[in-house]
Amino acid sequence: MAQENKMVIHDNHMKIPKTYYLSLMLFAIAAHDVIGCQNSPVGIADRSIIPDDRFTASSYYNARYTPKNARLNGAKGWAPKTTTDPNDYLQIDLGEVFVICAVSTQGYEWTTNEWTTEYKISTSVNNVNWSIYKSGYTNGNVDKLFRGNTDKTTVFKNVLDYPVLVRYIRFIPTTFNSWKALRVEAYGIKKRCQDSPVGIADSSIIPDDKFTASSQYDHRYVPMNARLNGDTGWAPKTKLDPDDYLQIDLGQLFELCAVATQGSGKHGNNEWTTEYKLLTSLDKVNWTTNTWTYKTCTNKLFPGNTESKTVVKNALDYPVLARFIRFIPTRYWKWKVLRVEVYGLKKPLYQLVLVVVKYQTVI
């Protein structure tokens, strides 16, 4: 997305006044690009892919405006019971997790002139924890307002500022013509987040100085040795401190969705962690146990290893946004020893690029 602004510079040091007009284009470039994502419909428009029972809504006007009628290019559309409830939404269960990069809308197809002119989206991977999509051009605290339609038939497509992991998506109308009416599609690709290692195992991706710990047993068990499939592993100084931790700075924000562990990599050392907790942080100052299970609302205890070599992988109950992660051993065999990897997708960082596209001098 580009935004044009004019800047006027007055030169007060010249005898003959000159004014320079610079037309500047400000671009925000996403560091994380999913090729082909925005042109791949997930199938909302196709009943054979997403059946009628995957559509729900806060309400609907009557039988002609039921949620299942909200398929792009369908014969009708969805509309809520009234126009006065700001919490009205249309919800679709995509059936599995997608990386979503774009959305499209139309108005109501029949003779009425009803369409949504602006809307928000909210997303979830478990139908329990929901997040309003935020603008990628702010500090992350401003809801993104998507441009809607100007008539009932034309498809209007919005590319997201950054991709997002979604199984459940809600369209929330904010402004409209005559009535809140929608037909929709989403665009994305199936990508199993838990199959994408962040790169802890690779020193060219996560260098040694990104590893820290509460303590270390000796020079053989320093934090930097905690890479999955590495030669040794990390171990704390003693077995007695319940607050022992291994910490890794991932270098940037990730949506994390799985973790993996091994025990000691040193031959003949039968030492491993049998259970552990996770802490995550965005800034290394505020830490949270937001990896609790949504089913029990208790701090998640992850099953660890039963011997030192085999990799044991645990999927999180839902993706967690983090840059820093701590592994906290809670049970162990002989000694707390860990080699680890985490899995997730990069949260995009935006680079501002200033380009002069026009120059004019007036004397």
Which portions of the chain are predicted below pLDDT 50?
Answer: 1-32, 292-297, 349-363
The phi-psi region of residue 170 (left if phi > 0; otherwise alpha if psi is between -120 and 50; otherwise beta) is: beta
Amino acid 345: pLDDT: 82
Amino acid 32: pLDDT: 41
DSSP 8-state assignment for residue 310: S
CATH code for the part of the protein at 208-351: 2.60.120.260
Amino acid 139: pLDDT: 66
Q: How many Cβ atoms from other residues are within 10 Å of residue 307's Cβ?
A: 11
Amino acid 13: pLDDT: 36
Instruction: Return d(Cα 157, Cα 36) in angstroms, integer.
Output: 15
pTM for this one?
0.58
Where are the domain boundaries for CATH 2.60.120.260 in the chain? Answer: 30-191, 208-351
Cβ(198)–Cβ(254) below 8 Å: yes
Instruction: Return d(Cα 258, Cα 195) in angstroms, integer.
Output: 8
User: What is 30-191's CATH superfamily?
Assistant: Galactose-binding domain-like (2.60.120.260)
DSSP 8-state assignment for residue 145: P
